Structures are given as structure tokens and as C-alpha cells.
Amino acid sequence: MSASEISPARVTLDPQTGVLRGAGVTESVKTLRQLAGYFRDEAARAAMDPETVLYRVQSYEPQPEGVEGAICCATTFLMPGRVGDEYFMTRGHYHAAQDRPEMEVTVSGEGVLVLMDENRQTRAEIMRPGSVHAVPPRTAHRVANIGTEPLVFVSYWPSETGHDYGEIVARGFSGRVRQINGKPALVPEPEA
Ligand code: PAN
Ligand code: ZN
């Protein structure tokens, strides 16, 4: 029997920082300019520096988006801050293949995962280092940073999933994470 080579991983995820490195890792950045219309107080957003970086995402997708055959992962680095009383947050989305779930694992920082089902019922879970969150099928998900340092978390989803941002652009979430009397709260948002 001849020994075959044991090869190193082509991609690494630093467990301390969440940084993904290696062949096929891509990175994207979202600034305040790109989140026009997402926050409750659009005037406050428009008055801030549009080049303010809200979050960066490093992704490792072994198959292209929408093509089955892999599990993808991505680290999101979400900065601390607020637009008015609303904490910095990701855009949020449903999955295009609606029956596909997701998992979030928090690396560092303090956040809130907002989950909205297809009946627009919204609930939220606290994200802390080590917390693991199952996002069920047919559930829109968004993350808010309620802390003072970057919130870092890793997401896992099947490659065939695809992302659907349209419904959130059109109708938003039915609850927003806002600072009320100095503390974060999930506040119901009446539809316009
Ligand atoms: C995450 C998100 C990431 C950025 O990787 O894509 O946190 O949020 P938005 O995509 O909503 O801007 C994920 O949910 N992947 O499916
Ligand atoms: Zn997702």
C-alpha cells in the first residue's frame, strides 16, 4: 500500500478573527450610500458620510450562487454605530429558494439577529461570541450590531439557495432594532 499525500486545506477561517483566506475567497463592502432606503430615518442616513463602511463580507462559495452541490460560508464584519436611533445593520433578505435554511455562528461582538417569517411575524435572538442561530426556511434575516466593537459572524447556507432582496426593499421588516432609553429593543414597524 502506497501512502498518498495529505494536503493542507485550501481555505482557512481564523477562529479568533473570523477572517477567511485562500483560493476562491471573495470580498465585498457595503457603505451607507448603498443602504439608502433601508433605515427608518432616511434623512439621518443622508446626512452622514456616504462612504462610511457599514459592513464587509468575505465569502467562500465552492459553487456559484444558485448552483447546487456545495455548502457556502461567509464572514460578515458589521461595524458599530447608529443611523438615528437604529443600529447599523445588514440589508437582510429572504432566500430565492425559499425552503433553504441557514446557520449563523457569532465570532465576536454583540448583536441581534432579526428573523421574519412569511406572515411577517418578527422575532429576534441575541448574538454573542459562540452563539449559534438556525435560520429556518422561508425566513428573512437581518443582523444589527448593538455593541461598541465590530460584530463578526459566519453564515453557512447551501449553494443553490440564492438571495432575494426585493421583498425587503419593497416592504422592509416588521420590526427594527432601535436604541430606546439607552437600550436595544425590537420595535414594531407599522407598514407605510
Ligand atoms: C449572509 C449575508 C451577510 C450580508 O452571508 O449575506 O451577512 O447581509 P445582506 O446579504 O443581507 O446584505 C447571509 O445571510 N447569507 O445567505
Ligand atoms: Zn442568508
- For 138-176, the pLDDT digits (tens) are 999 999 999 999 999 999 999 999 999 999 999 999 999
Q: Is the pLDDT of residue 1 over 70?
A: no
What's the pLDDT at 21? 98
Pick from 77, 18, 84, 21: nearest CA to 53:
77
Residue 7 lies in a domain: no
- What are 106's three cell numbers? 457569532
Predicted confidence (pLDDT) per residue in 96-116, tens digit: 999 999 999 999 999 999 999
Pick from 74, 65, 58, 125: nearest CA to 100:
65
Residue 90 lies in a domain: yes
Predicted confidence (pLDDT) per residue in 123-141, tens digit: 999 999 999 999 999 999 9
CATH code where residue 17 lies: 2.60.120.10
Q: How many domains does the chain divide into?
A: 1
- 192: exposed, middle or buried (Cβ count in 10 Å: 0-12, 13-18, 19+): exposed
What's the pLDDT at 137? 98
Pick from 107, 93, 91: nearest CA to 157:
93
Q: Which domain holds residue 51?
A: 13-188
Q: Is the pLDDT of residue 44 over 90?
A: yes
Q: What pTM did the predictor assign?
A: 0.96
Mutate to test the pocket of ligand 1, among 93, 105, 165 (most ligand atoms within 8 A of CB): 93
Task: Report the chain's mean pLDDT, rounded to a whole number.
Answer: 97
- Ligand 1 contact, 91 CB (< 6 A): yes
Residue 2 lies in a domain: no
Confidence of residue 2 (pLDDT cuts 50, 70, 90): confident
- Ligand 1 contact, 76 CB (< 6 A): yes
- What are 104's three cell numbers? 449563523
Residue 4 lies in a domain: no
What's the pLDDT at 152? 99
Q: Which amino acid residue places its CA nearest to atom 13 of ligand 1?
A: 155
What's the pLDDT at 142? 98
- Ligand 1 contact, 92 CB (< 6 A): yes
- Ligand 1 contact, 90 CB (< 6 A): yes
Mutate to test the pocket of ligand 1, among 76, 138, 145, 168 (most ligand atoms within 8 A of CB): 76
Residue 1 lies in a domain: no
Residue 74 lies in a domain: yes
Cα 83 → chain centroid: 17
